[in-house]
Amino acid sequence: MTAMTHSPIVAGCWRMDAWHWTPAERLRWIEQCLDRGVTTFDHADIYGGYTVEALFGEALALAPHLRERMQLVSKCGIQLLHPNRPAHRLKSYDTSAAHLIASVENSLRALKTDRLDLLLIHRPDPLMNPAEIGGAVAKLKAAGKILDFGVSNFTVTQFAMLNQWVPLATNQIELHPLHRAPLHDGTLDQMLALDLRPMVWSPLAGGRLFTGEAPDALRVRAVLQDIAERHGVTPATIAHAWLLRHPSQPRPIVGSRRIEALDEALAACALTLDAEDWHAVWSAGEGAEVP
């Protein structure tokens, strides 16, 4: 990314509406994240049926001085069919300049802030016009409403195409031992070539690493447990260390209200897996040794 510093572990807010917390409880969670050095908070306009940004903003309003200690990330471009957006006729994508600018304005109001540190297009839109997106981003940056711009879930060619029109800071992708495609389809190669750090959503496969009964989950779980016992940490810490071992230096997004989940991820920052342990996890997910 740019000179703006994002924390190596990111706090994911997408489930905040399901936590059923008071504003004071949400603020306490934010403070606990910040106290641990987790300063980057990941949002999207659609989270919680278009409610999570406002829940976070309501908590932040109780201690507005904390804004200077954090980086706020949000995503837009998906239009959900939802009662909170009655004008939408069906689920679709919109990456027009008008939509991007309106989405940022909505996010700023909800989050009770004057800027987003990073704005992402949530998913690639087959109708996206790179020149139009570039113009909208330039206007938003000139107005100080966004500091950085990137994408999420983009393929290598989609990223390269848009990056020709507007500098992209990151690609937020799914990556974990049960979903290894970015390691081999060029996604992480591209991040390395451009000296960019990806962000990773669902680093624990939505919990399937520890609850799934599919053969790949069972194999990976056994390997994670073995490595964890040798290092004296939890299997979740090893799963995060597996991600952090990649030279592109991914930033995992931990979408949990449990502070212990953040602590497990943070512990991985002080642990470097050796190459054999890393490949043992990869092989367990693949169900075969490396070629």
Q: Catalytic residues, which ones?
A: 47
Alpha helices in the chain (DSSP H): 23-35, 47-50, 52-60, 97-111, 130-142, 156-163, 187-193, 208-211, 215-231, 235-244, 259-268, 275-286
* Residue 67: Cβ within 10 Å count: 16
According to DSSP, the residues that pair with 75 across neighbouring strands are 120
For residue 119, give Cα distances in angstroms to 23, 146, 149, 172, 269: 25, 7, 5, 11, 25
Q: What six digits make up the tokens of 81?
A: 């069919």
Q: Rounded to whole angstroms, how far apart are CA atoms 129 and 21?
A: 40
Q: Rounded to whole angstroms, how far apart are CA atoms 207 and 210?
A: 6
For residue 54, give Cα distances in angstroms to 44, 50, 61, 110, 251: 11, 8, 10, 4, 24
